[in-house]
């Protein structure tokens, strides 16, 4: 675990450099702060910044799109939890990559689902034109950003503050235009449907950027923008002032300390992901030390359900136990969902929904039980009940993938497709339909069986195909691969688990009337 965390932190440190020292220096010469410097000044002193999607696209475009050119995450501004979207102008002038759209949409969904304000720090040259086919069209293309803008403004009443702190060109100009408050910075910001070159080519007018779409023009002539700031620092202070005018936020309780120190989490996981460990040991290092009560502890113990507290907030915890477990019904394999455990979780989730109890899922699931006995016991119906109750529950759901997240068990344990409020993973997370050895058996098993029955050796070309299958699955199951594709909001250091989950729960608890995201956006 220590090696995985160190490797992850090295990658994250490199990605946070954006376009590198030369581009950062250019941003400073232009009189502007970088995206991360702006966020640091905007947040309350010492406040946590929970970055979402840092690893997105890190393994694409020859490494030229760190964080997909946009920084997204959550922090506190004047005590209020808020979502922040900040274009990184050190990465291809803040141009939008296809994954930039993915990150902005995810940030907006977090704001909508949890009813927290969202701040856009705009500094972008617009669409990355050579990749426009993955940006411009489609249901989840750039247009959906403006769809979410409109829903937040007109239907959901989620505060949106847009600070134009650099260029804001073409369709991207609708993002601030559809916000509640628009701030522009003197001398450095530009907002227009077309820049000077496009205007000259399209209508033959020769005009400079300031006259066409500068801060003075938009606050004195067009009336598009609402406020002008003299520089980045003044702009960020103006945003903080707007937050001070909002109703005072609730101050969360710290709760009782965990019974055990977090440091032991580094030694929790065995070096071989297939070996067992003690899930209770993880729980005792993350959750509060009081009011812990396991539900039906002796029935279907492979799935742990418990009432617990996280930083003083009551939650329902659902976690997979690992290893071999003895029960009255016979031995059980931890990490597998049986008919009884599926129905146990269904009942627990139903009660949590009835009692407005947020749910925290600790995923280490290999899938549902298979075989003649399982099918005769109705595993399909029981699994459907587990999925249905989880899918229909509107209470906040926060997911932490600790180890395996495989097969339909991943879905039933509040997989990302069911719109949990937040999804996190440890560096040990393995998200995929199955493990490599299982894939080899599924793909090449019949051919191997024929060779075995006929007594023939395995040919070299089949050996190569088997190794390729295994190598592909090893790559797909790497936590960083999942994070690069947005399958988790963030990979986190186990030592930060309590802090991250507590903040995520605080954010999720701000929405007093939660509803399914798909219904809110229709």
Cα separation, 263 vs 65, whole angstroms? 34
pLDDT higher than 80, residue 476: yes
64 close to 86: Cβ distance less than 8 angstroms: no
% of the chain surpassing 70 pLDDT: 99
pLDDT digits (tens, 9 = 90+) for 257-306: 999 999 999 999 999 999 999 999 999 999 999 999 999 999 999 999 99
pLDDT digits (tens, 9 = 90+) for 95-104: 999 999 999 9
Averaged pLDDT for residues 495-514: 96
Closest by Cα among 184, 186, 213, 188 to 198: 213
Evaluated on CA atoms 240, 242, 248, 250, the torsion sign reads negative
- What is the number of residues in the chain? 522
Averaged pLDDT for residues 183-187: 96
pLDDT digits (tens, 9 = 90+) for 207-241: 888 889 899 999 999 999 999 999 999 999 999 99
Compute the mean pLDDT over every residue in the chain, rounded to the nearest whole number: 95
pLDDT digits (tens, 9 = 90+) for 73-84: 999 999 999 999
Cα separation, 68 vs 103, whole angstroms? 8
Residue 456: CB atoms within 10 A of its CB come to: 9
Residue 389: CB atoms within 10 A of its CB come to: 21
pLDDT digits (tens, 9 = 90+) for 115-130: 999 999 999 998 888 8
Cα separation, 486 vs 409, whole angstroms? 19
Cα separation, 93 vs 63, whole angstroms? 16
Averaged pLDDT for residues 86-101: 96
Averaged pLDDT for residues 82-94: 97
DSSP assignment string, 316-344: EEEEE--SEE--TT--EETTEEPHHHHHH
Averaged pLDDT for residues 51-79: 97
pLDDT higher than 80, residue 171: no
**Given pLDDT bands bounded at 50, 70 and 90, which one contains residue 145?**
very high
Cα separation, 426 vs 262, whole angstroms? 14
pLDDT higher than 70, residue 66: yes
pLDDT higher than 80, residue 424: yes
**HSE (side-chain half, CA atoms, 13 Å) at 296:** 18
pLDDT higher than 80, residue 46: yes
Query: What DSSP designation does 103 have?
Result: H
**Given pLDDT bands bounded at 50, 70 and 90, which one contains residue 522?**
low
Q: Which residue has the tokens 């809110």?
A: 520
More reliable by pLDDT, 249 or 417: 417
Q: What is the pLDDT of residue 173?
A: 87
pLDDT digits (tens, 9 = 90+) for 298-356: 999 999 999 999 999 999 999 999 999 988 888 999 999 999 999 999 999 999 999 99
**Given pLDDT bands bounded at 50, 70 and 90, which one contains residue 521?**
low
Cα separation, 469 vs 474, whole angstroms? 9
**HSE (side-chain half, CA atoms, 13 Å) at 196:** 10
The predicted model scores a pTM of 0.94
Averaged pLDDT for residues 7-15: 98
pLDDT higher than 80, residue 51: yes
Q: What is the pLDDT of residue 184?
A: 97
**Given pLDDT bands bounded at 50, 70 and 90, which one contains residue 199?**
confident
Q: What is the pLDDT of residue 194?
A: 81
Residue 275: φ, ψ to 5°: -85, 155
pLDDT higher than 70, residue 470: yes
pLDDT digits (tens, 9 = 90+) for 363-408: 999 999 999 999 999 999 999 999 999 999 999 999 999 999 999 9
Cα separation, 123 vs 280, whole angstroms? 46
* DSSP-derived pairing of the beta strands 70-77 and 80-87: antiparallel
């Amino acid at each position: 675990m220590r090696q995985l965390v160190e490797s992850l932190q090295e990658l994250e440190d490199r990605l946070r450099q954006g376009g590198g020292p030369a581009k950062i220096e250019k941003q400073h010469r232009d009189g502007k702060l970088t995206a991360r410097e702006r966020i640091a000044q905007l947040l309350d002193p010492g406040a946590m910044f929970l970055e979402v999607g840092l690893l997105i696209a890190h393994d694409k475009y020859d490494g030229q799109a760190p964080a997909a050119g946009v920084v997204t995450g959550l922090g506190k501004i004047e005590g209020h939890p808020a979502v922040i979207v900040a274009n990184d102008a050190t990465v291809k002038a803040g141009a939008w990559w296809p994954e930039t759209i993915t990150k902005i949409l995810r940030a907006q969904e977090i704001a909508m689902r949890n009813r927290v304000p969202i701040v856009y720090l705009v500094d972008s040259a617009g669409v990355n034109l050579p990749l426009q086919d993955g940006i411009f069209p489609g249901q989840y293309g750039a247009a959906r950003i403006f769809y979410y803008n409109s829903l937040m403004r007109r239907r959901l009443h989620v505060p949106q503050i847009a600070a134009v702190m650099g260029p804001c060109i073409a369709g991207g100009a609708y993002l601030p235009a559809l916000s509640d408050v628009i701030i522009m910075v003197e001398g450095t910001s530009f907002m227009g449907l077309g820049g000077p070159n496009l205007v000259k080519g399209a209508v033959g007018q020769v005009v400079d950027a300031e006259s066409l779409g500068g801060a003075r023009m938009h606050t004195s002539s067009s009336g598009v923008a609402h406020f002008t700031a003299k520089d980045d620092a003044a702009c960020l202070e103006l945003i903080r002032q707007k937050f001070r005018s909002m109703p005072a936020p609730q101050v969360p309780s710290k709760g009782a300390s965990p019974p055990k120190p977090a440091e032991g989490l580094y030694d929790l996981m065995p070096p071989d992901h297939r070996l067992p460990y003690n899930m209770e040991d993880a729980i005792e290092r993350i959750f509060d030390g009081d009011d812990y009560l396991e539900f039906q502890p002796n029935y279907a113990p492979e799935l742990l359900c418990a009432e617990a507290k996280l930083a003083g907030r009551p939650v329902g915890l659902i976690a997979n136990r690992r290893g071999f477990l003895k029960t009255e019904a016979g031995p059980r394999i931890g990490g597998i969902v049986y008919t009884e455990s599926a129905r146990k979780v269904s009942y627990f989730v139903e009660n949590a929904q009835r009692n407005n109890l947020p749910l925290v899922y600790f995923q280490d699931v290999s899938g549902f039980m298979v075989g003649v006995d399982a099918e005769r016991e109705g595993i399909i119906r029981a699994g459907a009940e587990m999925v249905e109750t989880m899918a229909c529950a509107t209470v906040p759901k926060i997911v932490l993938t600790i180890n395996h997240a495989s097969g339909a068990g991943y879905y039933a344990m509040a997989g990302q497709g069911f719109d949990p409020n937040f999804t996190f993973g440890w560096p040990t997370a393995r998200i995929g339909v199955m493990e490599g050895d299982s894939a080899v058996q599924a793909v090449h098993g019949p051919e191997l069986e024929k060779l075995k029955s006929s007594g023939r050796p395995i040919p070299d070309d089949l050996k190569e195909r088997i190794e390729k299958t295994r190598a592909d699955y090893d790559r797909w199951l790497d936590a960083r691969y999942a994070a690069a594709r947005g399958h988790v909001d963030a990979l986190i250091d186990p030592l930060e688990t309590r802090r991250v989950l507590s903040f995520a729960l605080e954010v999720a608890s701000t929405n007093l009337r939660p509803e399914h995201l798909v219904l809110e956006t229709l």
